[in-house]
Chains A and B, each alone.
Chain A
Amino acid sequence: MNPNGPSAEPLEAAPNVAPASRRPCGPDQMDEAGETPALHARLGYGRSGMSAAGNQRTSRWLVVLALAMFAFGFALVPLYDVFCDITGLNRDAAQALANNTQVDASRKVRIELVANVRDEALWRFAAPSQPVDVHPGELVQVEYELENLTNRPLIGRAVPSYAPLAAAAHFKKIDCFCFREQRLAPYETVRLPVLFVLDRGVARDMKVVTLSYTFFALGKRT
C-alpha cells in the first residue's frame, strides 16, 4: 500500500495528468508491470473512457476506502463507549445492576461521631468534624485520626459504645480499627477507618445514633 499516494490526491485532480514517474506503487500498477503497451492497446485499455489511468484512479479510492474501514473497525471500540455515554444507552441499566437492593433509600439516619481519650497528655484522638447521614443498608466509611504526642512508641486500643444502646444490634462493622491494637511510633499520626452498615432492621423512629470511641493506652502507665 502506498502511504501518501492515495490520500494525497483528490479525485478530481488527476484525470489525465499522471506521468509515469509519479505513478504510485499501489496494487493498481500491478497489471502494468509485465504487459506491453501494445498488448494493452490490443486489449482495449487505451481507449477512451476505460483508460488505465481511470482504473488507477478508481482503485486508489477503493484502497483508501478499505484502509479507512480497517481503521474504523478499531475505532468502533472507543466509539461504542462514546455513543453509549452520549445516548445513555446501557448506562442506566448497568448502574441498576450495580445498585444494592438492600439499601433503604426512603429514610436517613444521622450518625454522630465522637472520640474520647483517657490520657490526653499521650494521645490526640479526633473524630470526623461532621456527622454523616446514611441510608439503612448502605455501606459507609468514616475515618478517625490518632496522634502520638510523646517521644516514645505507644500501644493502645479503642472501645466503641452506642447511644441509644438499642442501635448496637443494628450497627454492623465490616472493618474497624477497634478490632486491633494500635501501635504508634513517636509523634506518629495515623488515620483509622471504620467501615460499617446500619442494617435495615433499625427502628424507624431512631433518627440519630451516636457512635463513640474511647481510646485506652495499653501496657505500663507512665
Chain B
Amino acid sequence: MEATLAPSLPDEHHAAPTGLWRWLTTTNHKDIGTLYFWFAATMFLIGGLMAMLIRAELFQPGLQLVQPEVFNQLTTLHGLIMIFGVIMPAFTAFANWQVPLMIGAPDMAFPRMNNWSFWLLPVAGMFLVGSLFLPGGAVAGGWTMYPPLFMQGGISYDLTIFAIHIMGASSIMGSINIATTILNMRAPGMTLMKMPLFVWTWLITAFLLIAVMPVLAGAVTMLLADRNFGTHFFDAAGGGDPVMFQHVFWFFGHPEVYILILPAFGIISSVIPTFSRKPLFGYASMVYATASIAILSFLVWGHHMFTVGMPAAAQLYFMYATLLIAVPTGVKVFNWVATMWRGSLTFETAMLFAVAFVCLFTIGGFSGLVLAMVPVDIQLQDTYYVVAHFHYVLVTGALFSIYAGIYYWLPKWTGHMVNETWGRWHFWLSAISVNVLFFPMHFLGLAGMPRRIPDYALQFADFNRVASLGGFVFGASQILLLIVILKCIRGGVKAEARAWEGAEGLEWTVPSPAPYHTFVVPPEVK
C-alpha cells in the first residue's frame, strides 16, 4: 500500500512524512479512505469472531461454551460493532476514496477534520471492545440499549454511551465533510443530475446522518443522565417512560438502516452498468427513489415497536407507511434488472457480488414487508425471523455491496487487477454459506425461537446446527477476501486507467493506482 500511494506530485510540493506519522497526520482523502477500510476490516474480524462464538454456542441445545451473561454481551457487542464499526466506516471509506475522484475534486472539503473524524473511531472501538474486560463485562442489554435494563448495568454501560457519543461525533463530522464536498467541490460542468449515483446516495446518506446521529446522541445522553445524574427521562420510578426511549431511539434507528443501505445502492448502481456495458437504466428515477426512501425513513420508526401497546390508528399508519417504502425500493431493483436486460454481461467477481446483492437483498426486503404487517409482526417480534430479515439486508445487502465495491475499485486503488480465481472462490463460498447460515433462521423464527437467548428448545436443534455450519464456512471464507486484497496490493496484472472495459466516470480517467493528488486541475465535464 505504501508504494502504491506514494506522492506523485513534484517534490517541492511538500515533504510527506513517512511511516506511522504519515498515517496519523494524513489529510489526504485516499490515505484516510484506506485507514477507514483497515479499521472496518479489523472491527469485522472482532465482530465476526463474536458471531462465530454465538453460532458455536447455538450449535446444539444447552449451554456449551459461554455463560448466558457472556452470550448476551456477545450479541450486544456483535450488533454495535458490525453497525458502527464495520458497515458505516466501510461506506465512509468508499466515500473518502471515491467521492473526490468521482466528482473531480482535489480532496475533501475539510481535510483536517477528515483526519479527526477517522482517528476518533479507533478510540470508540477500543472503548467498546475494552468494556469486555471491565468488572461486570460489556453491555448485555442488546444493541438497542433499551431501558430499564440498560439503567441497571455497570461501568461498561457508561463507557458504551461514551463510545457512541464519539462515533456519533465522527459520523457527523464525516458527513458534513462529504456533503460539503459534494455540494461545493464538483468539477465545472458536473451538475447535480450528472453526478454518479454513488455520489447521490452518499449525499443523501450524509444528510440522514447529520439529521439522526444527533438524535441518537440525545437519546444516550438522556440515558447517561438517568443513570448518573438523577433525571427520570426513561425511569418509571420518577415518572419517566421507558417506551419513550424506544420512540427516540427508533427515530434515529430507522433512518440508520437506510444509512446502512443507501451507499450500497450507490455501489451496486456503479458496478452493474459497468459489467452490463450499458448506462444505468432510469438514472433520474434512481435519484428520486433514493430521496423518497430517505424521506419515508423518518416516518416509519413505529414499526420497530408494534408490541409496546400503541393505539390501532398508529399501528395502521406505521404499517402502511412502511409498506410504502417498498415502492421506491422496487423501482431500484427494477432499474438494476433493466440495466442488465440485454446488456453485454460478464461476471467478474464484482459483478457476481452485485447480482447476488440484487437477489438476496430483495429476499431481505420481502421479509421486511412480512414484518411490516402488524398482526404478523406481533407474532414474529423478537424471533429469529427478525434476525434472518436484518442479516439478509445487512450481510447479503450492505456487506455484499461492500465486497462488490472492493472488487470493483481495488484496481484503481492498488494499480493491480484482482485475482479472479481467488475472488470467485470467495464469492461462491460466501454466497452459498451465507444462505445456509441465514435462511434456516426464517423457519426458526416462524416456529417461535426467540432471539438473544443462549439456549433453545430441542425442536430447534436441527436448523440451528445447519445455520451454525453455514456460519463457520461463511466466517472462514472471509479469510479469502483478506488474501485477495493482500495479493492485489502486493502485485498482479497491471491495471489500466480504465480498469474495466465498460467503466464510465471520472475516476477511470486518472491512472491506476490513482496518484496521491488527483484533479489538481479540475476536469471539464461535458
List chain A positions with a Cβ less than 8 A from chain B. Answer: 27-28, 30-31, 33-35, 39, 42-45, 47, 49-51, 54-55, 58-59, 62-63, 65-67, 69-74, 76-77, 80, 89-90, 92-93
Contact = CB atoms under 8 A, between A and B. Distances in A.
Given A34-B112, A44-B519, A58-B179, A77 B244 contact: yes
A50 B107 CA distance: 12
A38 to B, nearest CB: 10
B283 interface: no
A73 B219 contact: yes
B110 A66 contact: no
Given A50-B105, A66-B172, A69-B215, A44 B184 contact: no
Contacts of B111: 31, 35
B105 A55 contact: no
A62 to B, nearest CB: 4
30 contacts: A27-B173, A27-B176, A28-B110, A34-B112, A35-B27, A35-B111, A43-B520, A44-B520, A44-B521, A44-B522, A50-B522, A55-B109, A55-B110, A59-B176, A59-B177, A62-B176, A62-B180, A66-B172, A66-B210, A69-B214, A70-B214, A70-B215, A70-B218, A72-B215, A73-B218, A74-B218, A76-B244, A77-B233, A77-B248, A92-B311
A31 B184 contact: no
Interface string B260-289: 000000000000000000000000000000
B147 interface: no
B1 interface: no
A65 B110 contact: no
A93 B311 contact: yes
Interface centre among B107, B215, B314, by most A CB within 10 Å?
B215
Interface in B15-57: 27
Interface of B: 13-14, 27, 105-107, 109-113, 116, 172-173, 175-177, 179-180, 183-186, 188, 210-219, 222, 233, 244, 247-248, 251-252, 309-311, 313-314, 517, 519-522
Given A55-B109, A67-B214, A49 B188 contact: yes
A8 B231 CA distance: 32
Contact of A90 (B109, B172, B310): B310
A39 B14 contact: yes
B179 A62 contact: yes
Given A70-B218, A93-B311, A43 B106 contact: yes
Contact of B113 (A27, A65, A89, A90): A27
A90 B217 CA distance: 27
A58 B222 contact: no
B180 A73 contact: no
B222 A47 contact: no
Q: Identify the 3 closest CB pairs spanning chains A and B, nearest first.
A: A73-B218, A70-B214, A73-B215
A30 B222 contact: no
A74 B180 contact: no
Contacts of A93: 309, 311
Given A31-B110, A69-B214, A72-B214, 5 more contacts: A27-B173, A44-B105, A49-B188, A66-B176, A74-B222
Contacts of A47: 522
Contacts of B186: 50
Contacts of B110: 27-28, 30-31, 55, 59
Contacts of A42: 13, 520
A44 B181 CA distance: 12
Nearest to B212: A69
Contacts of B185: 50, 55
Nearest to A89: B311
Contacts of A49: 184, 188
Nearest to B186: A50
A99 to B, nearest CB: 16
Contacts of B210: 62, 65-66, 69
A92 B112 CA distance: 55
Contacts of A80: 244, 247
Contact of B314 (A28, A58, A89): A89
A21 B81 CA distance: 43
Contacts of B188: 49
Contacts of A73: 214-219, 248, 251-252
Nearest to B184: A54
Contacts of B106: 43-45
A30 B114 CA distance: 10
Contacts of B309: 93
A80 B301 CA distance: 14
Contacts of A92: 311
A65 to B, nearest CB: 5
